[in-house]
Amino acid sequence: MENIEPTEETYCNDPGVKGLIKEKSGELLFDLVSNIPNSAVIRCSNPEEKIKLLTRKAALQAGAISATLSCPGGFLGVATILPDIASIWRIQAQLVADIAASYGKIALLSRETMIWCLFRHTVSQLVRDLVVRAGTRVVVQTTTLAAMRTLLRKIGVETSSRLVKRSFFRVIPLIGAIGSGAYAAYDTYEVGKTAEAYFRGLTQP
């Protein structure tokens, strides 16, 4: 069967709350990566332990927020998907910035690097063209603004679609809260692993 990628028109024609989620998620992502967060974390001589603590804290925070927003049942539970993913992405973006700062590489945190760290584990097929291999290291390339908008739109639709497919469980408050919280925590741990591997690679000769 031919794999037809969704277009912007497709997003807009998806009716109701689910369509709105898919349409707005790309806009949220563009705003997020266009405003790289600052970090109060100072460079560490041995950053691994610090990063473990940062990742654990971010995962617990993301899990708690997602679980709380998933508590309402019925239609309201589905309607909280957009603020849910927006909150999680902000927490994860801050985690990436803090990990970069732990390695003293905050100045190298670009929009493209943020995208790679946030979504390499979930939509690797979409972000693979952002990187090239330089020996054993991964190097993130820059993209044009137009290409970035297109990429973020696709990422937004892909990631939000997965959450929408699981929105059935939000109708059942307790199950929805537990499931959403657990997934948000796991997802944040994966972001931390990707960011640590990337910035650790930049410190190696």
Higher pLDDT, 173 or 47: 47
| Sign of the dihedral defined by the CA atoms of residues 153, 154, 160, 161, in that order | positive
Residue 135 lies inside a defined structural domain of this protein: yes
For the chain, the domain total comes to: 1
Segment 163-180 shows an average pLDDT of 65
79 in a structural domain: yes
**Structure-block tokens of residue 54:** 């940062």
Higher pLDDT, 161 or 149: 149
Residue 189 has pLDDT above 70, yes or no: yes
Q: How far apart are CA 105 and CA 94, in angstroms?
A: 14
Domain boundaries, position 124? 16-34+44-203
Question: Which residues are CB-contacts of 43 (< 8 A; sequence separation ≥ 6)?
Answer: 101, 102, 103, 104
Rounded to 10 degrees, what is the CA torsion of 68, 83, 58, 65?
A: -10
For a pLDDT cut of 90, what percent of the chain falls above it?
45
Considering the domain boundaries, does residue 24 fall inside one? yes
Which range, 18-32, 51-65, 77-91, is most confident? Answer: 51-65
- Residue 190 CB contacts under 8 Å (≥ 6 apart), including other chains: 121, 122
pTM of the predicted protein model = 0.83
At 73-107, the pLDDT tens digits run: 555 556 677 888 899 999 999 999 999 999 999 99
* First-to-final CA distance of the chain: 46
- Is there a domain that residue 60 lies in? yes
* 179 Cβ contact list (under 8 Å, min separation 6): 70, 166, 169
Q: Given this model, what pLDDT does residue 165 score?
A: 65
Sign of the CA dihedral with 80 first, then 110, 154, and 187 last? negative
Residue 10 lies in a domain: no
Query: Does 64 reside within a domain?
Result: yes
User: Does some domain include residue 130?
Assistant: yes
Report if residue 4 sits inside a domain. Answer: no
